[in-house]
Structure 1
Amino acid sequence: MPAATHRARPDLGPAVGKTSDPQHEPGDAGQTAVVELLRYSPVADELGRRFADAGHRLYLVGGSVRDALLGRLSSDLDFTTDARPAQVKKILSGWAEAVWDTGIEFGTIGLARHGVTLEVTTFRADTYDGVSRNPVVAFGDSVEGDLVRRDFTANAMAVSLPDRTFVDPCGGLAALARGVLDTPIEPERSFDDDPLRLLRAARFVSQLGFTVAPRVREAMTALAPQLDRITAERVQAELSKLLLGAHPRAGIELMVDTGLADVVLPEVPAMRLEIDEHAQHKDVYEHSLTVMEQAIDRETDGPDLTLRLAALLHDIGKPATRRVEPGNRVSFHHHEVVGAKMTRKRLRELRYPKQLIDDVSQLVFLHLRFHGYGKGEWTDSAVRRYVTDAGPLLERLHRLVRSDSTTRNKRRAAALQRTYDDLEERIAQISAEEDLARVRPDLDGNAIMELLGVEPGPVVGRAWRHLKDVRLERGPLDRDEAEAELLAWARAEGIVES
């Protein structure tokens, strides 16, 4: 059964507080956000009283309420109010320790108080321009109207302050209890208003372990092409949150099944066309999802975006390199080289940071190298080069390579793990002797320039790289050996006379 079907339902204990909607009475179905809200008293209560004293209404809203019900409320709280931005700033004056209005054009004022970050946004009743998909900001008059315009019913709940009335006009609490993502209005209209919500649905599936309502899935499939109207930066932010969620496989599967991945990561659904050479999985796509899950199981310091991306994309070069050999054996020669180039191109288009692009591409490039080790042909030089090429990515490379074993043959799987154990032992042994993490030529740049009589420039760099290759091949040299090697190279290159 796919991992996506194993979802933990929120553990909703007894409810606390009143409700403004008898049709969606919390009752014993859930622990309302009020309980979690108490953890932030007196900040939230104080803020509610200030707004009430000024004649305005204030509500804890959206993801803050959802996360409170799920027992995962963060210290960043979102509020909505009938007060206009200028009025909000006036109410906060003299009480907030810091106020910022970078979001004021959208009606949002940020503030900090006692280490808690808060955002207060005026009731919204946005429309969208239908071209750029940017909201045309319009302020609303009621919290119900504000909630109906939100993306999903699970994010369309509120708690009024300071009286703590629970507001749930769209049935968000019931949806939360069922673990279902649905939209407050028709999903086609909601997604057409803001196509980024298509990707947010997949992101919430990953983060919360929910499923999407059938009508939402249908709308996602129909409107998936609309995602190409969203900027790469916004798409990348949602994709990263999805990959860092607790159930990224479920999020990726939803993207692929609805066509969102064809817009965002087309290389991933393309892998469904290729049967892997071991015939142990339905296709390379299924294999890659399993590798990603196994890599996640090996994380030790929390979610690792670099590792998860590398695991998901490590075989994307296979469709382009697939060949049918004699005997109907399928090969994917040099798919790691092609895959690394494809990875770099895709991540650049998604506007990922350069360092992350470099790291993920290098992991994809190196992930297959270990498979030559089991033949017993690796010299100490090959081990040194493996470590040096991985550099600071070595621990991630260990996790990726170990995760890339998805065979159901237990004996073969155990043999692969033992072989990698042996490689790690050799790395540890040579590292202890030679400090592989800091492999450098036996002569530095100053010594090279002095011995060759050259100024700083390309020749020094070429000489340095040659000496490093020698060091990797032969291990440490003493000073005389290093100088003799440099002079021999320089004579062969015509840099010094023979």
Structure 2
Amino acid sequence: MHELTDLPRLLTGLPKAVLELGELFSAAGFEIALVGGPVRDLFLGRISPDLDFTTNARPDDTLKVIEGWADATWDVGREFGTIAFRRGKDQFEVTTYRADAYDGDSRKPIVAFGDRLEEDLIRRDFTMNAMALRLPSLELVDPYGGLDDLRASRVMTPSTPVVSFTDDPLRMMRAARFTSQLGVELAPEVEQAMKDMAGEINRISRERVRDEIIKTIIGAYPRAGVDALVRTGLADHVLPEVSALQLETDEHHRHKDVYQHSLQVLEQAADLESDADGPVPAPDFVLRFAALMHDVGKPATRKFEPSGAVSFRHHDMVGAKLTKKRMRELRFDNESIKDVARLVELHMRFYGYGDAGWTDSAVRRYVNDAGPLLERLHRLTRSDVTTRNRRKAERLAFAYDDLEQRIQTLREQEELDAVRPDLDGQQIMEILGIKPGPEVGKAYKFLLEHRLDHGPVDYDQAAALLKEWWSQQS
């Protein structure tokens, strides 16, 4: 966190065009200020990729000011006072001061242009985003204490939280997201308002809620963001399966409930992501969300055994179905739904390997079932170990090391990443003298099962196996 005295040095990282833009508007008799996230990020020691400005100039005036200076302009947001443009490689958005409100039913913004910067700032979501830097004078405008809240790592609203969240309930999700992205905490009055108003999130489209969940999960501190959603009751409406985990006790981790275990698995999975050139580049939403959701099937499968133990049989299968249902309701794309649910379904497959050992056939099936998700499954399975018993943790880690080594050995011997039958569809039809149809698929499946169980064979062996199987089918 940098102080106000650091501002001149921090500004050197901004594009030269920012100051040029300030000079243009000032010469034309208008005010303009860098506003919101870019100003906040200056004090956090980083340059925001999005450069947003606010001005008392109306959209037509803005277009006149930048005419001949901007290389290209877009006025798709003109109705709401926003003009976007490009200067060289830099892109900017300039929006007229606003004092807008929201229709409580339709959520459609009601636009009213304003004349004062302070009025524009009070309508913004949080105080740390309600700071502005006047141009070209470089005067910081911070009427609502955003810099103090940033110093205190605190999420607070410019107006009262109730007024702010009534205007736009999605701001409650954004508050939780900020705890994940910036490692800040909710001000007590903000958290209380979120608890009191959590149900208002149902006014917001599932798509917008989904986008905030994604940003929360891929933040630098995802555990904090998810916990904020659960603590305030927002998760009861958007991720109820996660909230329900608080009620359960995990038979493998009696020192903590399943909810805390799931948060720890999420945190550990994020720590195991690779760099940009690795197999699972950080941040990876699919891995992280699977880590969060991996045990959501436990509440529905809890059973008290005669011995007094608690079991959760088939919670992996039930959890996969619940995960699919929740992600569909949140309008996730089909590929993400399929991948996350598959990881949830497979997360228990490894357990027992260290005790019983697996045949080569079982190892092949593990790789085949994981498919392109194998590297994520490796990380999810390792992350699922949260026991405080060091000996148990070391035993599980050793067993998984051994499994990965066996996978690598088989991969080198058998091209394991692309397991296919030893004969393709065309060869199957030629050997059996049949045309395309269901029988080809059945033959293909038979040969694939043999390949997984016994490894590769040559053409003649595969043909003999196929003919023997076909004679039995006939």
TM-score calculated relative to the size of structure 2: 0.96
Choose the corresponding residue for 1:424, options 397, 400, 404.
404
Q: Following TM superposition, by how much is the alpha carbon of 1:347 offset from its aligned partner in structure 2, in angstroms? A: 1.0
- Is 1:81 the equivalent of 2:68? no
Deviations 1:151-172 (A, max 9, x none): 1101000001111111011111
Superimposed CA distance per residue, residues 32-62 of structure 1 (whole angstroms, 9 cap, x where no aligned partner): 4x54333224210111111112221110000
> Aligned partner of 2:147: which letter?
L
Q: CA deviation at 1:376?
A: 2.5
User: Residues 313-462 of structure 1: matches in 2 within 5 Å?
Assistant: 313-462=293-442
Distance in 1 between residues matched to 2:306 and 2:421, nearest whole Å: 46
Q: Is residue 52 of structure 2 the alignment partner of residue 91 of structure 1?
A: no
**Deviation string, structure 1 residues 254-279 (Cα, Å, up to 9, x no partner):** 11111000011000010111100124
Instruction: Tell me the equivalent position of 1:145.
Output: 119
CA distance in 1: counterparts of 2:66 and 2:443, whole angstroms: 64
8 A Cα contact 2:15 2:90, kept in partner? no
Equivalent residue, structure 2, for 1:474: 454
1:63 to 8, 28, 37: 37
Range that drifts further, 69-78 or 59-68? 69-78
Matched to 1:99, the amino acid is T
Match of 2:206 among 226, 232, 237: 232
Q: Distance in 2 between matches of 1:200 and 1:295?
A: 23
CA–CA separation in structure 1 for the residues paired with 2:296 and 2:253: 17
- Counterpart among 467, 470, 474 of residue 487 in structure 1: 467
Shift of 1:456: 2.6
Tell whether the 8 Å contact from 2:97 to 2:120 is kept in structure 1 after alignment.
yes
1:212-267, Cα deviation, whole Å (9 max, x unpaired): 11111110000000001111111111111111111111111111111000011000
Residue 298 in 1 paired to residue 272 in 2?
Answer: yes
Shift of 1:289: 0.5
Tell me the distance in 1 between the aligned counterparts of 2:253 and 2:360.
Answer: 34
Cα deviations across residues 294-317 of structure 1 (Å, max 9, x unaligned)? 111111122111111010000001
8 A Cα contact 1:442 1:478, kept in partner: yes
Partner Cα distance (2:302, 2:223) in 1: 25
Equivalent of 1:207 in 170, 181, 189: 181
Cα distance per residue 1:2-48 (max 9 Å; x no partner) = xxxxxxxxx224x24xxxxxxxxxxxxxx34x543332242101111
Report matched runs for 1:105-184 at 5 Å: 105-184=79-158
**Residue identity in the other structure for 2:47:** L
Native 8 Å contact 1:281 1:287 kept in 2: no
SS at match of 1:415: helix
Amino acid at match of 1:192: T
Contact 1:180–1:213 at 8 Å: present in 2 too? yes
Identity of aligned residues (%): 57
Any unmatched runs of 5+ in structure 1? 1-10, 17-30
Per the alignment, residue 4 of structure 1 pairs with: none
Answer yes or no: is the 8 Å Cα contact 2:253–2:386 preserved in 1. Answer: no
Distance in 2 between the 1:206 and 1:445 partners?
50
Q: Is the 8 A contact 1:280 1:407 kept in 2?
A: no
Task: Report the counterpart of residue 281 of structure 1 in structure 2.
Answer: 255
**How much has 1:490 moved relative to structure 2?**
2.6
Equivalent-residue separation in structure 2 for 1:377 and 1:420 (angstroms): 11
Q: CA RMSD in A?
A: 1.3
Secondary structure, counterpart of 2:13 in structure 1? helix
Q: AA paired with 2:231?
A: D
Q: In structure 2, how many angstroms separate the alpha carbons of the residues matched to 1:145 and 1:443?
A: 72
Which secondary structure does the structure 2 equivalent of 1:369 belong to? Answer: coil
In structure 1, the partner of 2:278 is none
Quote the offset at 1:173 in angstroms: 0.7
Deviation at 1:85, TM superposition (A): 1.5
Within the alignment, does 1:49 sit opposite 2:23 as a pair? yes
User: What is the one-letter code of the residue matched to 1:12?
Assistant: H
Instruction: Name the structure 2 match of 1:19.
Output: none
TM-score under structure 1 length normalisation: 0.92
Q: Distance in 1 between matches of 2:149 and 2:124?
A: 14
For residue 194 of structure 1, the aligned residue among 168, 185, 189 is: 168
The number of aligned residues is 468
TM-superposed CA distance for 1:64, in Å, is 0.7
Greater mean deviation of Cα atoms: 93-102 or 302-311: 93-102
- Give the drift of 1:358: 1.1
Alignment partner, residue 463 of structure 1? 443
Is the Cα–Cα contact under 8 Å of residues 22 and 32 in structure 2 kept in the other structure?
A: yes
Are residue 310 (structure 1) and residue 290 (structure 2) matched? yes
The question of whether the paired residues in 1 share the 8 Å contact of 2:421 and 2:448 is answered with: yes
Match for 2:314: what amino acid? H
Secondary structure in 2 aligned to 1:370? coil
Runs (4 or more) in structure 1 with deviation over 4 Å come to none
The structure 1 residue matched to 2:215, chosen from 215, 232, 241, is: 241
Q: How does 1:253-292 map to 2 (within 5 A)?
A: 253-292=227-266
